[in-house]
Amino acid sequence: MTVYDFPVGPYPTRVRIAIAEKKLQAQVQFKMVDLYKGEHKTPEFIAQKNYSGTLPVLELHDGTLIAECTAITQYFDTLDGAPSLTGTTPLQQGIIHMMSKRAEIELLDAISVYFHHGTPGLGPSVELYQNPEWGFRQRDKAIRGMHYFDTVLQHQPFIAGAEFSMADITVIGGLVFAAIVKLEIPAECRALLAWYERMKQRESVITQPAFSS
Amino acid sequence: MTVYDFPVGPYPTRVRIAIAEKKLQAQVQFKMVDLYKGEHKTPEFIAQKNYSGTLPVLELHDGTLIAECTAITQYFDTLDGAPSLTGTTPLQQGIIHMMSKRAEIELLDAISVYFHHGTPGLGPSVELYQNPEWGFRQRDKAIRGMHYFDTVLQHQPFIAGAEFSMADITVIGGLVFAAIVKLEIPAECRALLAWYERMKQRESVITQPAFSS
């Protein structure tokens, strides 16, 4: 299988962590798509790999393409049940999907919009339209999101409850992106900060290029 | 189980269709939350039901809350396998989740942003901040999305392949919202229009309040 990838990118990092958690590294090759050159926005990439022009994208042996981190994670997770990243009961699946989506809306995607609209983003040749006011609002939303996830983590060890899951990976993606745009986790978010330190002790997380500096 | 609902809302309609497809109507009661009165944005609703301040939200017998249409659908679908809305093989699950997410990004969520930012939306007492320029860009993105899904449907009977799935429901949600904001499906999108006529022949779809006029 091939993953179209930008190794330090927050979204590709989500799928990289999922692959490492599932111990599927030997079955996957990574192919670099240079975001800063806009290679994900070329007509060819959009027509042939992903209509939405985003990374990562998984390509199976027969050429089938699966885009979107949640979908790729769902695919890997259903291939092989252990460890489960998306839950094994209806309740777990519902909660994990909810919390992962919430982490996108309230944190990761919000920071992505801030990056592309409120900062130089990928540079003037890629960022052909920017709406800074929208970007700044999304930055503020992401800060509120950090406080929300801090509150969640005051009551449970992981984002979706008692076990590590896809929802933790999504929040990790959000905090990877926060570091790129220099958005600090507020010091009072002690539960979130402590959780992030625990996450960085996982081999699947700390071995990712996003964490090497 | 209780679903916090606004009966004609595009997102609530997604969960209503899923419930009807799964024949779970007798197990669910709907509780109205009036979007036009901003009841979904009150501090109480946000603190007690859904941090993101959106509908629908599913509340289980024990008080557990599941927000986000995809998560609620995943919950219902895992409760009872037939008919499957989210797929039974890894490949189906991956493709259905991808296409549903794509339908959110490229169609439904884009129209939602247009509604809230490029039109009066829910009215001045609810829409406390609007960014019309961003709204209009999302409207244009949604029109492009209609052309994309038209192309998809030129090659296969349903949004995610050979079977009806959650991804079809998400596109239906998008077209329900398109009608609310008077965004017409371009006449040249014949495959999309024909698919939508077929969707409206499903009892789970046509019996929804969004389709009674």
Does residue B84 lie within any of the structural domains? no
Pairs of CB atoms within 8 A across A/B: 101
**Cβ-Cβ contacts under 8 Å, B64 against chain A:** 91, 95
Query: Based on the domain organization, do A136 and A190 belong to the same domain?
Result: yes
Which structural domain, as residue segments, surrounds residue B54? 2-79
- pLDDT tens track for A157-194: 999 999 999 999 999 999 999 999 999 999 999 999 99
Q: What is the distance of C-alpha B28 from the center of its chain?
A: 18
Do B102 and A68 lie within an 8 Å CB cutoff?
yes
Output phi, psi for B57, to 5 deg: -135, 135
Q: Does position B3 have pLDDT exceeding 80, yes or no?
A: yes
**Cβ-Cβ contacts under 8 Å, A76 against chain B:** 90
**Cβ-Cβ contacts under 8 Å, B58 against chain A:** 94
Query: Based on the domain organization, do B115 and B40 belong to the same domain?
Result: no
Q: What share of chain B is helix, strand, coil (3-state, %, to 5)?
A: 55, 10, 35
Do B133 and A131 lie within an 8 Å CB cutoff?
yes
Tokens 């798509």 belong to which residue?
A: A33
Do B98 and A66 lie within an 8 Å CB cutoff?
yes
Q: Which pLDDT tens digits describe chain A residue by residue (213 residues)?
A: 999 999 999 999 999 999 999 999 999 999 999 999 999 999 999 999 999 999 999 999 999 999 999 999 999 999 987 899 999 999 999 999 999 999 999 999 999 999 999 999 999 999 999 999 999 999 999 999 999 999 999 999 999 999 999 999 999 999 999 999 999 999 999 999 999 999 999 999 999 999 986
Query: Based on the domain organization, do A9 and A70 belong to the same domain?
Result: yes
Q: Quick one: pLDDT at residue B80?
A: 81
Joined tokens for residue A28? 């996957």
Does residue B187 lie within any of the structural domains? yes
Domain boundary among A44, A79, A114: A79
CATH number at residue B74: 3.40.30.10
Measured in angstroms, the CA of B179 and the nearest CA of chain A are apart by 24
Output phi, psi for B5, to 5 deg: -145, 150
Q: What is the domain count for chain B?
A: 2
Query: Based on the domain organization, do A127 and A175 belong to the same domain?
Result: yes
Q: How many CA atoms lie within 13 A of B18 on its CB side?
A: 35
Does residue A84 lie within any of the structural domains? no
Classify the phi-psi angles of B32: left when phi > 0, otherwise alpha if psi is within -120 to 50, otherwise beta: beta
Measured in angstroms, the CA of B150 and the nearest CA of chain A are apart by 13
Q: Which of residues 9-68 of A touch B (CB under 8 A)?
A: 51-52, 58, 60, 64, 66-68
B211 touches chain A (CB under 8 A): no
Query: Based on the domain organization, do B147 and B48 belong to the same domain?
Result: no
Instruction: Give the C-alpha distances (Å, rounded to integers) separating A29 from A23, A26, A58, B194.
Output: 13, 8, 10, 40
Closest to B199 in 3D by CA, of B169, B166, B177, B178? B169
Query: Based on the domain organization, do B176 and B123 belong to the same domain?
Result: yes
- This model of the complex carries an ipTM of 0.97
Task: Tell me which chain A residue has its CA closest to the CA of residue B54.
Answer: A102
Measured in angstroms, the CA of A199 and the nearest CA of chain B are apart by 24
Does residue B212 lie within any of the structural domains? no
B43 Cβ neighbours under 8 A, 6+ residues apart: none
Domain boundary among A38, A58, A79: A79
Joined tokens for residue B76? 């219902």
Strand runs (DSSP E) across chain B, as ranges? Answer: 2-5, 29-32, 57-59, 65-67
CA dihedral of A109, A113, A118, A121, whole degrees rounded to 10: 100
Does residue B155 lie within any of the structural domains? yes
Domain boundary among A58, A79, A100: A79
Query: Based on the domain organization, do B48 and B128 belong to the same domain?
Result: no
Mutate to test the interface with A, among B3, B65, B75, B151 (most CBs of A within 10 A): B75
Query: Based on the domain organization, do B145 and B175 belong to the same domain?
Result: yes
- In the 3-class helix/strand/coil scheme, how is A124-166 assigned residue by residue? CCCCCCCCHHHHHHHHHHHHHHHHHHHHHHCCCCECCECCCCH
Query: Based on the domain organization, do A103 and A178 belong to the same domain?
Result: yes
Query: Based on the domain organization, do B123 and B70 belong to the same domain?
Result: no
pTM attached to this predicted model: 0.98
Dmax (CA) for chain B in angstroms is 49
Output phi, psi for A89, to 5 deg: -110, 160
Task: Tell me which chain A residue has its CA closest to the CA of residue B79.
Answer: A90
Query: Based on the domain organization, do B63 and B162 belong to the same domain?
Result: no
Query: Based on the domain organization, do B60 and B129 belong to the same domain?
Result: no
* B130 close to B117: Cβ distance less than 8 angstroms: yes
Q: Quick one: pLDDT at residue B28?
A: 97
CATH number at residue A145: 1.20.1050.10
Does residue A209 lie within any of the structural domains? no
B105 touches chain A (CB under 8 A): yes
Do A94 and B66 lie within an 8 Å CB cutoff?
yes
Do B52 and A94 lie within an 8 Å CB cutoff?
no
**Cβ-Cβ contacts under 8 Å, A97 against chain B:** 68, 70-71, 74-75
- How far is the first Cα of chain B from the last one, in angstroms, to the nearest whole number? 28
